[in-house]
Amino acid sequence: MKKIIAITVIALVSQTLFSQGVFDKFEDQQDVTSMIVTKSMFKLMSKIDLSSNDPKAKEYLNMVENLENIKIFTTSNSGTAAEMKKTVDSYLKSSTALSELMRVSDDGKNIKFYVKEGKNDNFVTELFMFLEDANSKDSKAVVMSITGNIDLRQISQLTADLNVPGSEQLKNIDKNKN
Amino acid sequence: MDLQKIEQLLDAYLEGTTSLAEEKMLQEYFKSGKVAPHLEVYQDMFAFFASAKSEKTSVTPEISETNKQPFYKYMRKWGAVAALLVVALGVTFFINNNSNKISTAEQIEAELAFEKTKEALNFISYQFNSSAQNLAVIQEFEKSTNKIFK
Amino acid sequence: MQKEEFLHIVMPIKDKLYRLAKRILVSHDEAEDAVQEVYLKLWNGKELIKKYNKPEAYAMTMTKNYCLDRLKSKQASNLTIVHQNYKSNDSRTEDQVEAKDGVGMVFEIMKQLPEQQRIILQLRDVEEYEYSEIAAVMEMNETAIRVNLSRARKMVREELIKKYNYGLTKN
């Protein structure tokens, strides 16, 4: 009973402009790791003295400048994971602006990507991901939402250099398309 | 008046010790015209002072009722406030223009958040790419199967 | 303070202010200019006058200070106060006809006195101020006033005797 009331209250109270405020309830739960970064923090980041570390940092910063929010919720608890799935489903249903980008199912791992349309085909105003992995110990479920002015090509570019299994084939496929 | 008295008064007069009343007595004596010859020099002195008393001026204060005074008062009151505002605005402006500098504390916080953000972006990027790549493989498979089945 | 209240204070003493100014600055025109300035200063600081028990003394002090400043700045710019013919300087006053008569000589002699003595002599023998009043205007103590007064009077007498004898012997 308490839980229901608490959830309702939190849900009502946290009625922000961003509809994914519906996930904020997970923030306070014990078995949930959450990370939330807001625009003001992005602004601060853009003022970081870049002279240190990483040349790639500039790439990230350019992206970051155009972001509104990043929210990530991770749980290691299967019960909470199921709850998350429910919330995700209702969220996706309620929002008409979100459309499925892709979903992949592989070896007990389910990933869904949803996007809200941006200024053109390459841009989205929201990139939403839900990952379920029953076999994982730490992250049985991950909800991630990025809002802002997001270039999907840039997102992809970030880890394009990393050895993604099968990425070789991906390159080959492109070549073979012609 | 007694000449001796006059001479006494004159001595006191020269020492600057006479009262106004005593000086009046001297004035009366020297006005009278019957002055002892050796004292004639004083006659000119007292005559001069007597005439000087009657000098007048026609200059009167020209006061405009549109007082400058309120303006000074106004300025004194609000001038300080205005000056303070100007300074405050200047400081704000200066700070805003220098807002590209952030404190060390903020720098550390921001760097931390940045690392986390990079992680998050990398994570989603990786997932995104691997999913997309999976799809590509499937598509290719479909293509090739289509070829087969055509 | 309103205009009426101000004039009520200033009008009765305007001649005294003028005479003091003229004693210091010698010239009639200069004295009138000075008095006009002093009126302005008094009006601008009219709230201050109210604080004084004797506004007259305050006004006289202001006049004295202003005129002395004027004198200094004139001297600084190398303008000498011309040894004016007594007649042309004060064409209004009828009692001085000849520059060389005794009374005219007193005027000349007074011009030669140091300003301080000149002023104190003026305040006592012309304006008939009490020693305490003079002390207030001069911002000096009474003993100093008396000393200056004594010196001034003696000086005038000395000089008069000199010129008198000269005149006598000449004749």
| CATH at C171 | 1.10.10.10
Residue range A85-107: average pLDDT?
88
The answer on C75 and C3 residing in a single domain is yes
Is the pLDDT at B103 greater than 80? The verdict is: no
Nearest-Cα distance to chain B for C105, in Å, is: 9
pLDDT in tens, B50-93: 999 988 888 888 776 655 556 666 677 777 778 888 888 888 87
Q: Which of C31, C47, C81 is the last residue of a domain?
A: C81
Quote the DSSP letter at residue B53: T
Say whether residue B7 is in contact with chain A using an 8 A CB cutoff.
Answer: no
- Taking CB atoms and an 8 Å limit, are A155 and B131 in contact across chains? no
Using the beta-carbon criterion (under 8 Å), do C93 and B55 form an inter-chain contact?
yes
Q: Quick check: A60 and B110 CB within 8 A?
A: no
Query: At A112, is the secondary structure helix, strand, or coil?
Result: strand
**Beta carbons of C102 and C161 less than 8 angstroms apart:** no
pLDDT of residue A175: 45
What ipTM score was computed for the predicted complex, to two decimals? 0.79
Q: What is the distance in angstroms between the Cα of A63 and the nearest Cα belonging to chain B?
A: 10
Q: Could you tell me if C56 and C7 lie in one domain?
A: yes
Tell whether C155 lies on the interface with B, counting CB pairs under 8 A: no
Q: Considering only residues 83 to 102 of chain B, which have any Cβ-Cβ distance to chain C shorter than 8 Å? A: none
Q: Domain range holding C71? A: 1-81
CA distance C130 to chain B (A): 7
What is the full per-residue pLDDT of chain C (171 aa) written as tens digits?
A: 678 888 888 899 999 999 999 999 988 999 999 999 999 888 888 777 777 778 899 999 999 999 999 988 877 665 444 544 333 444 444 333 444 577 788 998 999 999 999 999 999 999 999 999 999 999 999 999 999 999 999 999 999 888 777 555 444
Angle CA B26–B32–B37, to nearest 5: 80
**A1 to each of A5, A8, A11, A29, C37, how far by Cα in Å?**
6, 11, 15, 16, 90
Nearest CA to C19 among C132, C119, C157, C92?
Answer: C119
As to burial, measured by CB atoms within 10 angstroms (0-12 exposed, 13-18 middle, 19+ buried), residue A111 is buried
Are both C44 and C107 inside the same structural domain? no
- Chain A contact present for B143, CB below 8 A: no
Pair C106, C73 in one domain: no
DSSP E strands in A4-140: the ranges are: 32-38, 67-75, 98-106, 109-117, 123-133
How far apart are the CA of A46 and the nearest CA of chain B, in angstroms?
Answer: 9
Token duo for residue C102: 């005794």
Q: What is the pLDDT of residue A17?
A: 39
Whether chain B has a CB inside 8 Å of the CB on C157: the answer is yes
A148 DSSP β-pair partners: A67
The answer to whether the pTM exceeds 0.80 is no
Query: Do both C48 and C113 map to the same domain?
Result: no
What are C61's two structure tokens?
A: 């002090």
- CATH of residue C61's domain is 1.10.1740.10
Do residue C76 and residue C112 come from a single domain?
no
**Which of B57, B62, B69 to mutate to test binding with chain C, by most C CBs within 10 Å of its CB?**
B57
How many residues can be counted in chain B?
Answer: 150
Contacts of B147 in chain A (CB under 8 A): none
The domain boundary, picked from C27, C58, C81, lies at C81
Domains contained in chain C, number: 2
Q: Are residues C19 and C64 in the same domain?
A: yes
